[in-house]
Amino acid sequence: MGDSGDSCKGTVVLAYSGGLDTSCILVWLKQQNYDVVGFLANVGQDCDFVDAEKKALLLGAKKMYVVDCRNEFVTNHIWPGVQASAKYENRYLLGTALARPCIARNMVEIAKKENAQFISHGATGKGNDQIRFELGCYALLPGVKILAPWRLPEFYLRFKGRKDLIEYAEQNQIPLSRSKSKLWSIDDNLMHISYESGMLENPATEAESDMWQMTAAAEKAPDTPVKLAITFDKGVPTKVVNVTENIVKTDPLELYMYLNKVGGAHGVGRIDIVENRFIGMKSRGCYETPAGTILWEAHDDIEIFTMDKELLKIKQGLAVQFSHQVYNGMWYSPECEFTRFCIDKSQENVKGTVYLKLYKGSVYVLGRESPISLYNEELVSMDVQGDYDPIDAGGFIKCNALRLQEHSRIKRKHKD
């Protein structure tokens, strides 16, 4: 693990997880004569943070920072995703993508504190995360240099797979985890767990049942549904009530974690999809997002209940843009800042409570109420005429028929 004796090339802040890849990268960077400062963001992943800190220092890190980013992640990143009803390609709830700008911001703060010239990470050269991390760092710390080992020939030609990394670890006294080797890679945080690679690279192969960690299989979920009431203010969830068990959560982090727990127990939030990576290839991913799935359904319902239909059309278009911007790592771009501002503005009247139940992997909306609803019960009633004259509908229909008639006339003319 010793250095070669050459002069120090500078200080690098390494996004360090404690796993095999970043442990080997830490030692490798030391051997390339960099001073390494480790950084680990707590965004709710399954990790022994104390052990990771000890390991980094043991391997030669000059310092090791573990930063609790969970509250920031929920309020500054997950909540805007909820307000947007964001889904990339109409399916993926962006659990990894929403976390990366939060991690990058905190990592940049450590780089500033340590006067580091370099930032490094263990993201692969084929994935989206390298883009998200680096765009965030470049945006927030112009002039910083990125060391991405998996894009450096001297690194990836030496380490062609897990076997090479294990051999390197053994040669350099890097402690290896004794956990069972999985046939897939995992990224987890407060919002979700994602699985890819390994056996999942064959899109026809069914994921093994023991892969899933956050959710119960639908067929093994409780036979009795649970009923929830979720209250929103300006499109942000402010209270969750488990009506069945009389449990109330109002703190943003506790609220989100509770929905993960109850949603996971009832099998909510599993998907298996093929998506289009920003870098230009299709990939298969499996995701568990219990709380995100519940909140998407609830928010979508209260939004249409309280928002003007023409505003909703514009906002839905913005949601598509926002989803692509976040997925592509453009959180700190001017267009994403503008999109978030507009979406936040659209949420001013998205206020009220949605009642729903969770059962066997599904979310069922049961009802909703709001003090500023645009739903006029008298106006829509089949039993009360209200402030509406049915005779007006005839002219409305005829006006809308004009362009259809003209379209048919032109088609007939060309046909003849």
Q: How confident is the model at residue 376 (pLDDT cuts 50, 70, 90)?
A: confident
Average pLDDT over residues 230-243: 98
Burial class (CB in 10 A: 0-12, 13-18, 19+), 278: middle
Q: Using CA atoms, how far apart are residues 86 and 289, in angstroms rounded to an integer?
A: 13
Average pLDDT over residues 288-292: 98
pLDDT given for residue 390 in this prediction: 86
Average pLDDT over residues 164-168: 94
pLDDT given for residue 387 in this prediction: 76
**Average of per-residue pLDDT values in the chain:** 94
pLDDT given for residue 178 in this prediction: 54
Q: Name the catalytic one among 17, 21, 85, 301.
A: 21
> Is 21 marked active-site?
yes
Average pLDDT over residues 277-301: 96
Q: How confident is the model at residue 306 (pLDDT cuts 50, 70, 90)?
A: very high
pLDDT given for residue 181 in this prediction: 57
Burial class (CB in 10 A: 0-12, 13-18, 19+), 23: buried
pLDDT exceeds cutoff 50 at 258: yes
> Is 129 marked active-site?
yes
Q: DSSP letter for 125, please.
A: S
pLDDT exceeds cutoff 70 at 1: no
Q: Name the catalytic one among 70, 105, 129, 346.
A: 129
Q: Using CA atoms, how far apart are residues 110 and 112, in angstroms rounded to an integer?
A: 5
Q: Which of the residue ranges 86-95, 390-399, 402-411 has the most confident prediction, judged by mean pLDDT?
A: 86-95
Average pLDDT over residues 109-131: 95
pLDDT given for residue 414 in this prediction: 84
Q: Name the catalytic one among 164, 185, 272, 277.
A: 185
pLDDT in tens, 352-371: 999 999 999 999 999 999 99
> Is 409 marked active-site?
no
Average pLDDT over residues 194-216: 94
Residues 6 or more apart in contact with residue 294 via CB below 8 angstroms: 228, 230, 259, 263, 268, 269, 356, 358, 363
Contact 257, 214 (CB under 8 A): no
Higher local confidence (pLDDT), 385 or 124: 124
Q: What is the strand order of the sheet 118-120 is part of?
A: 63-68, 35-42, 11-15, 118-120, 145-147
* Token reading at 401: 């028929």
Higher local confidence (pLDDT), 233 or 392: 233
- Domains of the chain, first to last: 11-181 (3.40.50.620), 187-307+349-369 (3.90.1260.10), 377-415 (no CATH)
- Backbone angles phi and psi of 197, in degrees to 5: 70, -175
Give pTM, 2 decimals: 0.93
pLDDT exceeds cutoff 70 at 179: no
Q: Using CA atoms, how far apart are residues 283 and 260, in angstroms rounded to an integer?
A: 26
Long-range contacts of 169-174 (CB under 8 A, 24+ apart): 169/20, 169/23, 169/24, 172/1, 172/24, 172/27, 173/1, 174/23, 174/24, 174/27, 174/59
DSSP string, 215-284: S--GGGS-SS-EEEEEEEETTEEEEEEETTTTEEE-SHHHHHHHHHHHHHHTTTTEEEEEEE-TTS-EEE
> Is 194 marked active-site?
no
pLDDT given for residue 2 in this prediction: 47
Smallest CA-to-CA distance from 37 within 57, 58, 9, 17 is with 57
pLDDT given for residue 196 in this prediction: 92
Q: Name the catalytic one among 23, 85, 100, 301.
A: 100
Q: Using CA atoms, how far apart are residues 93 and 269, in angstroms rounded to an integer?
A: 10
Q: Using CA atoms, how far apart are residues 326 and 249, in angstroms rounded to an integer?
A: 28
